[in-house]
Structure 1
Amino acid sequence: MDESPAETVVDPKLSGDDSPSLKSNGSQRTPEELVAKAIAPVKKEFLRSPPPRPSSSTNHQNHVVSETKVVSVKEKKSKRQLKRERRQEQKSARSICPLIAKTGDVSSCPYNDKCRFSHDLQAFKDQKPADLEGECPFMNAEGPCPYGLACRFFGTHKDGVPTGTSDARKKCAEINGLKKDVQKLLWKNKMSFPKADAKLKALGLLGKAKSKMKILEVEKDDETIPSTCHETNENGCSEVNNESDAKLDFVDVPGEDGVDGTLETDEQPPKKQKSVICENFSSAEAKNGDVIFTEKNVGISCTQTKPEDPTDIIPPEADRSLKLHPREKKLIDFRDKLYLAPLTTVGNLPFRRVCKVLGADVTCGEMAMCTNLLQGQASEWALLRRHSSEDLFGVQICGAYPDTVARAVELIDQECTVDFIDINMGCPIDIVVDKGAGSALLTKPMRIKSIIDAASGTVDKPITVKVRTGFFEGKNRIDSLIKDIGYWGTSAVTIHGRSRQQRYSKLANWDYIYQCARKAPDDLQVLGNGDVFSYLDWNMHKTECPVLATCMIARGALIKPWIFTEIKEQKHWDISSGERLTILKDFVRFGLDHWGSDTKGVETTRRFLLEWLSYTCRYIPVGLLDVVPQQLNWRPPTYMGRDDLETLMASDSAADWIRISEMLLGKVPDGFTFAPKHKSNAYDRAENG
C-alpha cells in the first residue's frame, strides 16, 4: 500500500480561480454556485483565509525527501534483519516479561534465563513512561489487570501490584480467537478439510490431486504409500506434499481456475481437459473482459469429464451438508437494517463497537485473505474477532480460487461464531487484483460460479458477496449475472456503484444498482453501496427502489459514525465538538480494552485513532452550512468552528490529529511520525477497497 508523508496527505482546500468563497471579481459566490462546483457552502461568518502552503519551500521539500529515504530504508530490510531487531527489542528493558509484570515477582517466570523477554524489573520501572490520566480499562473486570506493572494506568490499580492467576482478558466479551493447536496444524499444512474437499470433488474442481481423506484411505490399503498432506501454492492450487520416496508426484498444470493438475503414478489416469466454453471465456476475457453470459452455459462445468462418484471419500457429516440446497439454509433478513460496511484498517473491532452504540444493526469484519487464514497468520485471524455487542456479525474473506475459498469457509465455520460469510469480489487494490482476487473476478464469471458453488455447498452459514458494477469503466456486467448469482447459492449481494477502474472518482451509479435490484430473483437480497451520507440519501434510495433490501454505509460512517443515529431518528444531528470528543473517548476505551493497556497497546490504539481522524476531519458541522445536508464529494473551504476544539477537528493536518490523540492518550513517543495508510480519505480517489 502506498504511503505518503503526513504533509502531503489530502489537500481539500482550493485556491486561485477555484476559491470557494470569492469570485474573480471579488464578489461572494452564492450557495447554489458553490454546490454546483461541489464546494461546501459554509456560512460567511465562519470562513477565513487559507494559510500559506509550504509545499514550494525548500525546507518542506527537504523534509519530504528525508522522510521518503527513511521509508525506503525500512522497505529494504530483510526478514532476518527485522526478526533480529524484534528479538533485540524483546530483550531490552522496555519489554518486561508479561508474567513478571503481572505478578511483580522475578521468580514467577518458569523459563528463567531462557525467556525471550527482559527480567530486569528495576530497569523497566526506570524507563517506563508516566501513567496516563484515567482509570485502567480492566478495573471492572473479574481478576487483576492482565498487564500488571506494564499497565499505563498502574497507579489506579486498587491493590498495587496485582496477584493471582486469573486473566481478565479471557473474561472479556471477545470471541473468535485462533486456537494454538489449530494454528500449528495450519503451519504444518496438516489441517484436513473433508467438507470442502468433498464438495470440490463433487463439482469437479479438485483436479486430479487426491484429497487428504482419500490419501489416508489409500494408506490403510497400501502401507507403502507415505503420509502426505495438502499444501497451497502461490496460486491457491491444491498440491500434494510428498515427504519421502514414493510413486506419487504432482505436476502442476495451471488452468483458468488455477485448480487443474495431474497426478503421475505408475498407472496414470487420463487427463481432464478444459471445456470449449471455459477456453472461450478465457480468450474473451483476455481481450476486453466483456463476456456474454447466458443461462445456457452457466450450468456447464469447466471440465468435460464427469467427476467420479465422491461417496467413497465423503464422510457422513460432509454428505449431509452436500444434500442441503442453498435455498433451504437459514437466511438473514437484511431488509431495512443499518449495515456498517467491512472497512480496511479503520473498520476494526473498537470502531465497530462505537458504531453499534450509535445505532448500527449489522457489522462485518475487515477483509481477510483466504491464503493467510489457511497459513494460520495471527494478524489475519485477528480480523475475525467479534465482540458480544455485535449481535448480527459477519466476516469478509477474499480469495481467487474455489478450493482456497471453500477451505477457508470450512475453517471459519469450524473455529468461529459468525452469522454470515461475505466473499469480496470487488476489492480494487492492485496487489489483490494481480493475484486474481477481488474485482479481478468480475472478468471471470465461471470462476465466480465455482467459488460461490463451492463455498455455499461447504457450510450451512449464509454466503453473501460484495461486487462492483464491473471491472472496466463503461462495461457494467452485474446486471447480466444477478439472476445466476442467486441461483448459485448466494443469500445476498452488495453492489458498490462504481467500477474497479473508476475506484472512487465520480459519484456512485445508483441507477444501475436499481436496475440490478429489479432484475434479481425474489429470494436474492440486493444491497446498495456508495455515497450514503445522510438520512435523506437513505430515504431516497429506499423510495426510488423499494425492492432494494438496504443500503450499506462505508465512508459515510468513517466521517460521521453518528449517521446511524441520524437515519433512525430521521434528523440532521448538529453534533457539538464535545459530543464528538466523547465518541473519540469511547473509541480509545474500546481500543485499550482490545489492544491492551500497556505501552504497546496504547500506541496501537493511537495509530488506529489517527487513521480514523484522517477521515473525521472531512465532517462539516450542520450549523456551519448554508445548505444541508453535506454531500460526500463536497470540498470544504478553510473555515473555523464555533469553538477551538471544533476548529482543531476540522484540520486536515496530521500534526493536529496527533494533538487530538495526545488529549486522549498522552504525549507521543520521541521520534513519532504518522502518515495515513490509505488514500480513501481523499475526495475523488482511493487505493483501498
Structure 2
Amino acid sequence: MDEEERAKGSSVSGVVAADQTPEQLVSRAIAPVKKKFLRPPPVRSSAPDDDVSIPTENNNYVLAMETKSKRQLKRERLEGQKSAQNLCPEIAKTGDVSSCPYKDKCRSSHDLEGFMAQKPSDLEGECPFVKYGVSCPYGIACRFLNTHEGGVPSGDRNGLENSSEVNGLRKDTQRLLWKNKMNFSKADAKLKSLGLLGRSKSKRNDLENKEGVDTGSNKYDHSDDSGSCVVTSDSGSKLDCPAEDRKSKSDELCPLKRRKTKENCGPKESENEGVTEKIVERRCTESEADAIVPETDLSLKLHSREKKLIDFRRKLYLAPLTTVGNLPFRRVCKVLGADVTCGEMAMCANLLEGQASEWALLRRHSSEDLFGVQICGAYPNIVARTVELIEQECTVDFIDINMGCPIDIVVNRGAGSALLTKPMRMKGIVEAASGTVDKPITIKVRTAYFEGKNRIDSLIADIGSWGASAVTIHGRSRQQRYSKLANWDYVYECAKKAPTTLPVVGNGDVFSFVDWNKHRTECPELATDMIARGALVKPWIFTEIKEQRHWDISSGERLNILKDFVNFGLEHWGSDTKGVERTRRFLLEWLSYCCRYIPVGLLDVVPQRLNWRPPSYYGRDELETLMASDSAADWIRISEMLLGKVPDGFTFAPKHKSNAYDRAENG
C-alpha cells in the first residue's frame, strides 16, 4: 500500500474511530485509540497529487526518489572521486598532503584546503572511536573533530574490544573469487557423491560448448612442427588447445587425452612399439592436487545428527531483515534482550563473485553470542560452494538457507519461494550444504507458493533426514506476501508432524508477550518464535517477553534507543560525512516502521496487533506526536535531532512498500 493510500486510510480511520466502540474498531483492524487523543484528519490542499514536495526553511524534501540510469550513476561516482569532498583517506588520517603513497595516481582528492572549506560543521557529541581510547581512523574527516583536540585519551580499551566486528572479506580471497580460482574441494566432492556436480567449468567443457566438439571422436595431433597440440573434429576443422596447455615436448600429453597410442605419439616414440597402449599418468598442478579428495574423507564426514546442534528452544530469535536488519540494529536488539541474531539475506552468486557490499551482510559484532548468516541460492552447487566459503572465511554458529523469500527478483531466478514448487531441488540443496560443512544448516520456508495449497506438512518429515538442523515456517504463502494474519494453526500442525530431532520455529505476527505465551501453550512442540516486523516496530518486544509485561515506553526512552542506534551506526559505517549520511539513511528506513507503534497508554485495548491501522492521534507530548507521524519529512526532522542538518538536495523514500496495513477484510 503506497503512502497516498495509507494517508487516506488513516484519515478515514480517524473519522470512524470517534463513532465506534473499541470492539467494532478491532473487528475492522483499526487501532482503538482513546477518544481524548484522537484528532481530526488533516485538511488536504487542492494541489495536484503529483506535487509531493514539502517546503521547509532551508530546502524542499522530495519524497519521490529520482531514478537514474547506471551510466549516470557511474559518471557521477567517478566525478565525485576527484571532488574536494572525497579526500584521500591517508591524508585525512595524517593531515599531510605528501603522506599518500600513490601520489598523482591516487583516485581521491589531495586538495586539503578545499576539503576543509566545504566540510560541514562538526556534530554534537563525542567521536565513537576516541571514547574507546583509540585513534580515530577518519582523522580530520571525522565529523567530531573537535573532540580530537589534546590527543587521544588513554581510556579503557576493553570498550573497544567489546565493540569489535569480524567476518570481513580478505583481499586475497576476494582476488581468487574475482579470477574464479577459488578451490571448493569439499563442496565438489559432496556434489559428485550426490550426482549433483553438473557440468564442469574446465577449459575442456568451455571448448566443447563454444565449438560443438564431440570429445568421443576427436583426434589429437602432436606431430605438428610447431610443437602445438591440434584438435581435429569429425567435420575436419582443426582447433588449437589453449595457449597455456600447449606442450612442445613430445614426452608430455595433451590435457584432453588420457592414453598414448601410435597415432598421437611423437616421431621418436612411434618407433618404440611398446608404447602403443602404455598408460601415462596425467601431471597435475598443485591447485588440482589440492582439489583431489580421497574417498575416505567422505566417509569421515559428520552425519547431520552428529553435528553440534543449536538449542533454539524458548530463545528470542531476531529474524534476518532485509535493509533494516543491519549490524547496528541487531546490536540494539541484543541490548534489549534478543538471544539469537541472524544477518541479512545474502545472495550466493554475489558472495561467490566477491562483491564487498554482499559480504558486508555477513559482518558479526562480538556482542552477538549466537549468530547465523542467511543465504539464498537456486541450485545445489551454488549453495554448497557458498557454505564452504562461509565456513572457511567467517565465524558463524549456523547457516540459514532462505527458501521463502517472496521478492520477485529472487523468485524469478528460481530461488526463495520458487523452491517450494521444486521439492527435489530443495532436497539437493539441503543435502549438499549439510554434507559440505560441519556448521548446522537451517532453512526458512513459507507454507506454500500459492494460497490454499500448503505443502510443508508433507515435507516436514523428510527435511530432517535431508540434513537440516532446524526449520523456520513463516505462516503465510508466497502469494500472500504479508497480507492477512499468519496461519499459526498450520504452523502447529507442521510442528506436531516434525521428527523430535528437528526443531520447528514459527514466524509471523508476534507483537507482544501475549502472542509469545499463546504459541507456547497451544503448541509445546514448537521450539520458539522468530520475531521480524514486530522487532522493527518496537525492538523492546524482547524486553517485554522476558519481563512478561506491556512496556508503556515514553518518547524519551524511545529517543534514547534511536541514539544508541546512531552511535552503533557511526562505529560501523564511519564518523566521516559519508558514514554519517549512511547512518541517517538506515535510521530513516527504520523510522518508516517505528511510526506504526501506538503507545500502550493511548489504547483502549491492549496489546496492539500488527495489522491494526492507526488513526490520526496526538501523543502525550510533542516528541511522541512527532514519532507517530507517517510523513517522511517528520522522520527527517527526527534524524536531524540526532545527526544534524541534512545536506542540500537531500531526498528520501523508503525502499519497502509494505502492505502491513492491508484492507480490513484481509485482517
- TM-score interval, normalised by the smaller of the two chains: 0.7 to 0.9
Residue number in structure 1 paired with 2:413: 435
Identity %: 75
Q: What is the CA distance between 1:610 and its match in structure 2? A: 0.2
Q: Deviations over 1:21-40 (max 9, x none)?
A: 24xxxxx2111111111111
Q: What amino acid maps onto 1:396 in structure 2? A: Q
State how 1:313-352 maps to structure 2 within 5 Å: 314-315=292-293, 319=297, 323-352=301-330
**Deviations along 1:93-141, whole A, 9 cap, x unmatched?**
1111111111111111111111111111111111000000001001133
Which residues of structure 2 form unaligned runs of 5+? 55-60, 207-219, 229-240, 247-254, 260-288
Paired residue for 2:353? 375
Contact 2:15-2:41 within 8 A present in 1 as well:
no
Q: Is the 8 A contact 2:133 2:152 kept in 1?
A: no
Q: Distance in 2 between matches of 1:210 and 1:98?
A: 40
What residue in structure 1 maps to residue 48 of structure 2? 58
Distance 2:161 2:175 in 1: 21
* Partner Cα separation in structure 1 for residue 295 and residue 47 of structure 2: 69
Once the 2 structures are TM-superposed, how far is the Cα of residue 676 of structure 1 from its aligned partner?
A: 0.2
The answer to whether the Cα contact below 8 Å between 1:46 and 1:640 also exists between their aligned partners in 2 is yes
- The partner residue of 2:123 within 128, 132, 141 is 132
Q: Distance in 2 between matches of 1:129 and 1:493?
A: 49
Cα distance change of structure 1 residues 211 and 455 upon mapping to structure 2, 3 Å threshold: farther
Shift in Å, 1:513? 0.1
Contact 1:534–1:566 (CA<8 Å) still a contact in 2? yes
Check whether the contact 1:149–1:161 (CA below 8 A) recurs between aligned residues: no
User: What is the alpha-carbon distance in structure 2 between the residues aligned to residue 484 and residue 8 of structure 1?
Assistant: 46
* CA deviation after TM superposition for structure 1 residue 335, in Å: 0.2
Matched, 1:19 2:15: yes
Matched-pair contact (CA < 8 Å) for 1:321–1:457 = no
Identify if the C-alpha distance between structure 1 residues 180 and 656 changes in structure 2 by more than 3 Å, giving closer, same or farther: same
Q: Structure 1 residues 536 and 211, CA, compared in 2 at 3 Å: closer, same or farther?
A: farther
Secondary structure (helix, strand or coil) at the match of 1:423 reads strand
Q: Quote the residue 1:604 is aligned against.
A: 582
1:580 to 552, 558, 568: 558
Q: Give distance in 1, aligned partners of 2:290 and 2:180.
A: 23
Secondary structure, counterpart of 2:375 in structure 1: strand
On the 8 A contact 1:195/1:314 being kept in 2, the answer is no
Q: Is the 8 A contact 2:506 2:528 kept in 1?
A: yes
Cα distance change of structure 1 residues 439 and 12 upon mapping to structure 2, 3 Å threshold: farther
Helix, strand or coil at the partner of 2:132: coil
User: Distance between the aligned counterparts of 2:201 and 2:41, measured in 1?
Assistant: 67
In structure 1, distance between residues paired with 2:541 and 2:569? 21
Q: In structure 1, the residue corresponding to 2:529 is in which secondary structure? A: strand
Deviation, 1:374, is 0.1
**Residues 12 and 617 of structure 1: is their aligned pair in 2 closer, same or farther, counting only changes over 3 Å?**
farther
CA distance in 2, matches of 1:102, 1:9: 49
Structure 1 stretch 643-652 or stretch 141-150: which is displaced more? 141-150
The answer for the alignment partner of 2:511 in structure 1 is 533
Q: What's the counterpart of residue 377 of structure 2?
A: 399
Q: Which runs of 5+ in 1 are unaligned?
A: 23-27, 216-221, 227-241, 248-263, 269-310
Corresponding residue SS for 1:198? helix
One-letter amino acid of the structure 2 residue matched with residue 58 of structure 1: P
Cα 1:132–1:541 shift into 2, 3 Å = same
Task: Determine the C-alpha separation between the residues in 2 that align with 1:346 and 1:17.
Answer: 28
- Contact (CA 8 Å) 2:186, 2:436: kept in 1 or not? yes
Query: In 2, distance between residues paired with 1:601 and 1:634?
Result: 35
CA shift digits 1:156-202 (9 cap, x unpaired): 1133699xxx9x99995100000000000000101010000000000
Q: Which residue of 2 aligns with 1:294?
A: none
The C-alpha deviation readout for 1:389-418, integer Å capped at 9, x for no partner, is 000000000000000000000000000000
Structure 1 residues 171 and 572: CA distance shift in structure 2, 3 A: closer
Contact 1:141 1:171 in 2 (8 A): no
Report whether the alignment pairs 1:111 with 2:102. yes
Q: Which residue of 2 aligns with 1:483?
A: 461
Distance 1:12 1:577 in 2: 26
Work out the number of aligned pairs and report it.
586
The counterpart of 2:66, out of the listed 56, 67, 71, is 71
Q: Which amino acid aligns with 1:354?
A: V
Mapped to 2, the partners of 1:105 and 1:355 lie a distance apart of 41
Matched AA of 1:71: E
Q: 1:150 to 1:528 in 2, by over 3 A?
A: same
Is residue 512 of structure 1 aligned with residue 503 of structure 2? no
Partner Cα separation in structure 2 for residue 512 and residue 318 of structure 1: 43
Q: What RMSD in Å do the two structures reach over aligned CA positions? A: 3.1
Measure, in 1, the Cα distance between the counterparts of 2:139 and 2:549: 45
The 5 A counterparts of 1:206-605 are 206-209=197-200, 244=243, 314-315=292-293, 319=297, 323-605=301-583
Q: Contact 1:9–1:676 at 8 Å: present in 2 too?
A: no
Q: Give 1:124's aligned amino acid.
A: F
8 Å contact kept, 2:445–2:474:
yes
Q: How far does residue 680 in structure 1 lie from its aligned partner after superposition?
A: 2.5
| Counterparts of 1:476 and 1:330, CA distance in 2 | 31
Tell me which of 622, 640, 650 is aligned to 2:618.
Answer: 640
2:112 to 118, 121, 127: 121
Change over 3 Å in CA distance of 1:127–1:173 after alignment to 2: same
Alignment partner of 1:144 out of 135, 140, 148: 135
CA contact (8 A) 1:195 1:318 kept: no
* TM-score, normalised by the number of residues in structure 2: 0.83
Match of 2:188 in 1: 197
Equivalents in 2 of 1:600, 1:175: separation in Å? Answer: 22
Q: How many angstroms does 1:684 deviate by?
A: 3.0
Amino acid at match of 1:50: P
Corresponding residue for residue 291 of structure 1: none
Instruction: State the SS of the aligned residue for 2:323.
Output: coil
Provide the rounded CA distance (Å) in 2 between the counterparts of 1:8 and 1:637.
15
Identify if the C-alpha distance between structure 1 residues 681 and 609 changes in structure 2 by more than 3 Å, giving closer, same or farther. farther
Q: In 2, distance between residues paired with 1:343 and 1:447?
A: 25
Aligned pair in 2 of structure 1 residues 458, 651: CA closer, same or farther (>3 Å)? same
Counterpart of 1:117, as a letter, is S
Tell me if structure 2 keeps the 8 A contact 1:531–1:555. Answer: yes
